[in-house]
Structure 1
Amino acid sequence: MMPKIVKLQSFEKRDFERLINWVADEYMLVQFAGSIFKFPLTEKELNTYVDNKEILAFKVIEEHTNLVIGHAEISPSEDVDTVKICRVLIGDKENRGKGYGKRIIYQLLNIAFYELKKEKAELNVFDWNVGAIKCYEQLGFIRNPNKDSFMMVKEEKWKSLNMIMKKDYWKTKSYTFNF
């Protein structure tokens, strides 16, 4: 089996419809985007999103097939030395669990640390999203329990875990990946 290589390209207006179609319900939207969008996701919201010059939004392309398989983002943090990795989504269910997530996060970390020259990257993940947590831990993220939060989704209370990666650790670990 060929390795799952991905490349990141700018998310543009022509990509809106695909992303809207991937988000089937409110739960999926909140899992993917937190509270920045309302369900149903609209082109109007996405126009505002792509017009925000502080956000680096990407479509994720599977390199061998050249198919768009996902979405990812780097956003500024309150801390000027830190960026947030967020809105990571593998669109079609049949592409999930195949190792794309690790490759996406790997590339986002390289952008954060080497292109944007940041010292830390953080992300939030819901505590029930065990597959994503495992992916982040395998890459070297550690939990920051001081930044856990909660969100109400309809009648359910969802706990969001904060995880962090430091550039110094990434520099010592990133060359060891073989995926």
Structure 2
Amino acid sequence: MITLLQFEKSDFPLFKSWIGSARELLQFAGPYFSFPLTDQQLEKYIRDPKRQIFKITDTATKEIIGHCELNFERHTPRLCRILIAKSSKRNRGYGKSTVNALLKLLFIDGNYDTADLNVYEWNSSAIRCYEGVGFRINENISSEVSIEDETWKSLNMQICKSEWKTNR
């Protein structure tokens, strides 16, 4: 259904075209980037050795439909910046396929036993997607970020290899 390919400099224009506002950038990327997104920010991003950054392609059509990342800055690897960019491709299983592909890289191809991610509490479709793969909300970890006149609460979700294998 999907294939993960390395995100490259040639992908910058398409990637930037997906982000139309500071709110969209914050929803997708958290506070890591600032709006408007620039090539300089993306150059720094792809040079970071603690990140594996991918474009998501539809295996059948070869169309680039999104973006995702594995982040190794902490002991527990984190799934980050998951975006199915084309609205016509959302709610069709691409998100779940992407999360499973990232977890396969960690749990099968790699030697990790746990992984986590952060998601804004109002993003119910993403939370359902992650729960469908086996992630559970970690009640002990949350954070907040401000955008315009709002405060967004970010929830932490975790999964272990055995839970993931059970849900496959």
Scaled to the shorter chain, the TM-score interval is over 0.9
2:97 alignment partner in structure 1: 103
Q: CA deviation at 1:115?
A: 2.1
- Tell me, in whole angstroms, the C-alpha distance in 1 between the residues paired with 2:91 and 2:163: 26
Which residue of structure 1 aligns with residue 61 of structure 2?
Answer: 65
Deviation of 1:77 (Å): 4.4
Structure 2 partner of 1:44:
40
For residue 96 of structure 1, report the CA deviation from its aligned partner: 1.3
- In structure 1, distance between residues paired with 2:149 and 2:111: 41
Aligned residue type for 2:153 = K
Query: Quick one: which of 6, 11, 24 aligns to 1:10?
Result: 6
**Number of the residue aligned with 2:108:** 114
Q: How many aligned positions are there? A: 168
Letter in 2 for 1:109: L
TM-score, normalisation: structure 2? 0.97
SS at match of 1:16: helix
| Overall identity of the aligned pairs, in % | 39
- Three-state SS of the structure 1 residue aligned to 2:17 is helix
Q: Distance in 1 between matches of 2:16 and 2:82?
A: 14
Q: How far is 1:173 from its partner? A: 2.8
- Say which of 84, 90, 101 aligns to 1:90: 84
In the alignment, which residue of structure 2 is the partner of 1:54? Answer: 50
Shift of 1:128: 0.7
**Structure 2 CA distance, aligned partners of 1:84 and 1:44?**
24
Partners of 2:38 and 2:90 in 1: CA distance: 24
**Contact 2:50–2:73 (CA<8 Å) still a contact in 1?**
no
Choose which of 7, 30, 34 in structure 2 pairs with 1:34: 30
1:138 aligns with 2:138: no
Structure 1 segments of 4+ aligned residues over 4 angstroms from their partners = none
SS at match of 2:104: helix
Question: Offset of 1:97 from its aligned partner?
Answer: 1.4
Opposite residue 18 of structure 2, the aligned amino acid is W
For normalisation by structure 1, the TM-score amounts to 0.91
Structure 1 vs Structure 2 CA RMSD: 0.9
Q: Distance in 2 between matches of 1:150 and 1:30?
A: 12
Measured in 2, the distance between the counterparts of 1:25 and 1:147 equals 27
In the TM superposition, residue 40 of structure 1 has moved relative to its aligned partner by: 0.6
CA distance, structure 2, for counterparts of residue 169 and residue 131 of structure 1? 21
Match of 1:149 in 2: 143
**Unmatched tracts of structure 2, length 5 or more:** none
Q: Deviations over 1:59-100 (max 9, x none)?
A: 00001100000000000142x2x2100100111222111111
